[in-house]
Amino acid sequence: MSQPENGRRAYHHGNLHQALLDAAAALVAERGPEGFSLLDAARACGVSASAPYKHFADRAALLDALAQRGGALLNERLAAAWDEGKPGPGEAFLRIGHAYLAFAREEPGLYLALFRPGSAPPEPPQPGRSPLGDALAALGVGGAAAGEIALQIWALSHGLASLERAGQLPLPAGRLINTGVGRLLRGFAAEAPPTPPAPAS
C-alpha cells in the first residue's frame, strides 16, 4: 500500500466536528479566543489544513459553535444548581453563583469563547426561560428590576471569575459571591416600595 505525499499517513476521524471543538476549547483556554487559527486546530487533531473547512467556514464560525456549546452547558449547570429552588430560593440562588464560578474554572475554553469581545449578549433572564429568571421570580423580583439585578449579579459573578483566573483576587471568590449577592438582594428589598395592606373585609 502506497503512502500519501510527503510521507503523511491518511487520517480518518470518527467525529472531526467534535474533535475540532475540543481542540479549539483547549487552544482558547491556553491562548485566548484570538490566539489560534484553524490550522492550529487542524494540527491538534492530526488532520490536514483543509479538513476543518468541511465543518467550519472559518475560525469565527468555530468560535461561534464553541460559544453555543458553552452557553448550553452553562445553562445546564445553572439549572442543576437552581434545582427548582430547593430547599429554599435564597440558598438555591447562591448555588447559581457558585455554579457560574465553577464553570469558569472547569471549562475555561468554553467560558472565554462564550464571553469573548464582540459575541452576542445574553438574553435577559425571564422566568421559565432561564435559571436566573426563575430564581429572581422566586425571590419576588420581577419587571424591569429583574433585568437590572440580573445584570448586576452577572457582572459580579463574571468579574470575580475573571479576577480569579488572573490570580488577582485577594479573597476567596465563593465568599465574595455569598456576601455580594446577599447585599445586592438586601439592597433591592430595602429600595422596593412597601406592599399596600390588603383591603379590610
Residue 193: predicted pLDDT = 57
- Express each pLDDT in 10-41 by its tens digit: 345 579 999 999 999 999 999 999 999 999 99
Question: What is the grid cell recorded at 142?
Answer: 420581577
**One-letter amino acid for residue 72 of the chain:** A
Residue 129 lies in a domain: yes
Give the residue numbers spanning the domain of 51. Answer: 13-191
Report whether 35 contacts 47 (CB < 8 A).
no
Instruction: Check pLDDT > 60 for residue 7.
Output: no
Report whether 62 contacts 24 (CB < 8 A).
yes
Residue 135 lies in a domain: yes
Residue 6 lies in a domain: no
> CATH number, domain at 34?
1.10.357.10
Instruction: Check pLDDT > 70 for residue 196.
Output: no
Average pLDDT, the chain: 84
Residue 199 lies in a domain: no
Instruction: Check pLDDT > 60 for residue 64.
Output: yes
Neighbours of 192 (CB within 10 A): 11
Instruction: Check pLDDT > 70 for residue 1.
Output: no
In sequence order, what are the residues at sequence separation of 6 or more whose Cβ sits closer than 8 angstroms to the Cβ of residue 115? 158
**From CA 161, how far away is CA 170, in angstroms rounded?**
13
Residue 5: predicted pLDDT = 37
Residue 91 lies in a domain: yes
- Express each pLDDT in 92-138 by its tens digit: 888 989 999 999 999 999 999 999 987 777 676 777 778 888 888 88
**One-letter amino acid for residue 187 of the chain:** G
Radius of gyration of the chain (CA): 22
Q: What is the pTM of this model?
A: 0.80
Residue 117: predicted pLDDT = 85
| Domains of the chain: total | 1
148-162 average pLDDT score:
87
Q: How confident is the model at residue 152 (pLDDT cuts 50, 70, 90)?
A: confident
Residue 131: predicted pLDDT = 85
Residue 164 lies in a domain: yes
Residue 21 lies in a domain: yes
What's 192's DSSP letter?
A: S
Residue 20 lies in a domain: yes
